[in-house]
Amino acid sequence: MTVTITVEVNGESYTNDVEPRLLLTHYIREVLNLTGTHVGCDTSNCGACTIILDGKAVKSCTVLAVRANGGKVTTIEGLAKKNGELHPLQDAFWEKHGLQCGFCTPGMIMSAYDLLSNNPNPSEQDIREGMSGNLCRCTGYHNIVKAIEYAAQKM
DSSP 93: H
Judge if 62 and 110 occupy the same domain.
no
pLDDT tens per residue, range 90-140: 999 999 999 989 999 999 999 999 999 999 999 999 999 999 999 998 888
Judge if 53 and 92 occupy the same domain.
no
Identify the sign of the CA torsion 12, 5, 32, 95. positive
- The DSSP element (H or E) to which 89 belongs, if any, is helix 88-95
Task: Tell me the sheet residues that pair with 8.
Answer: 13, 72
Judge if 94 and 117 occupy the same domain.
yes
Is residue 144 a part of any domain in this protein? Answer: yes
Mean pLDDT rounded to a whole number for the chain = 95
Mean pLDDT along residues 141-155:
96
Judge if 30 and 74 occupy the same domain.
yes
The domain that holds 146 is classified in CATH as 1.10.150.120
Identify the sign of the CA torsion 85, 11, 112, 25. negative
Task: Tell me the sheet residues that pair with 4.
Answer: 17
- How far apart CA 78 and CA 123 sit, in angstroms, is 26
pLDDT greater than 90 at residue 82: no
Contacts with 86 (C-beta within 8 Å, 6 or more apart), sequence order: 79, 80, 94
Is residue 83 a part of any domain in this protein? Answer: no
Containing structural domain, residue 67: 3-78
pLDDT greater than 80 at residue 42: no
Look at the chain and report how many structural domains it folds into.
2
Confidence of residue 43 (pLDDT cuts 50, 70, 90): confident
What pLDDT is recorded for position 44? Answer: 82
The pTM (predicted TM-score) of the whole model is 0.94
pLDDT greater than 90 at residue 53: yes
- The DSSP element (H or E) to which 18 belongs, if any, is strand 12-18
- The DSSP element (H or E) to which 117 belongs, if any, is helix 105-118
